[in-house]
Amino acid sequence: MQALQDVVHRFSQDRIRPLAGEIDRSNKFPDALWQELGQMGLLGITISGAHGGAEMGYLAHTVAIEEIARASASVALSYGAHSNLCVNQISLNGTKEQKQKYLPKLVSGHHIGALAMSEPAAGSDVVSMQLCAEKRNGYYRLNGSKYWITNGPDADTLVVYAKTDPEAGSKGITAFLIEKAMSGFSTSTHFDKLGMRGSNTAELIFEDVEVPFENVLGEEGKGAKVLMSGLDYERVVLSGIGTGIMAAC
């Protein structure tokens, strides 16, 4: 673990820290960092080696994000949204086919990942979400929006939660794998935020987006279970951003 910390510390201080001021001023994430993080094995740090991951676990993930946050909290937040909220969720809940399709490019940094739960009127209260997924013949039709989505304007693959049964409460939520290129899917320009600038955040817009059945992550109506299966890990890993900021002060 010490060896990992030393390697990530050197990379973060030598490569990320010199960029931190400009990241904040320009409110832009340095795209080249994604593949550099991928080459170091950090984007798939908890993922099976069969999909290019490092199989190092959540303590290692927390150590890595803490060191990145010591150099730039903005980079650390985007890194966490990609590697934990998206990649780790697919690893925990995806089918063999979904893992084979999405994980290699996400782990290498050739694709960027995100998770979309929050909406303008639904944050921690996930049951209040309004994004609707209507089941059709062979696909779901999604309409609505998500808000405050980290990596939203850049992501190629997104874990998105939507209502498949508005009357069923938490049992009416389903998780989907959304691709940036899907017709009807778009994003706003990234927000001009007060803090965490450069960790690109945006609104996601769904206008009759057709999502095939094979892009359901987990099972229909089990989206809340998918969400909760990763939440405890997310809380632990993302806490490293706070300790990294404190270590830098």
Q: Which of 179, 177, 178, 174 is nearest to 226 (CA)?
A: 174
- The encoded tokens of residue 131 equal 């994004």
Give CA angle at 125 (195, 120), nearest 5°. 55
Q: Which of 124, 118, 62, 121 is nearest to 88 (CA)?
A: 62
Looking at the chain, list the stretches that DSSP marks H as alpha helix, in order from N- to C-terminal side.
2-11, 20-26, 32-39, 57-71, 73-80, 89-93, 96-108, 223-248
Selected catalytic residue, list 67, 119, 220, 234: 234
Q: Count CB atoms within 10 A of the CB of residue 195.
A: 9
Q: Count CB atoms within 10 A of the CB of residue 32.
A: 11
User: Catalytic: 167?
Assistant: no
Q: Count CB atoms within 10 A of the CB of residue 188.
A: 15
Q: Which of 219, 233, 180 is nearest to 95 (CA)?
A: 219
By annotation, the residues acting in catalysis are 234
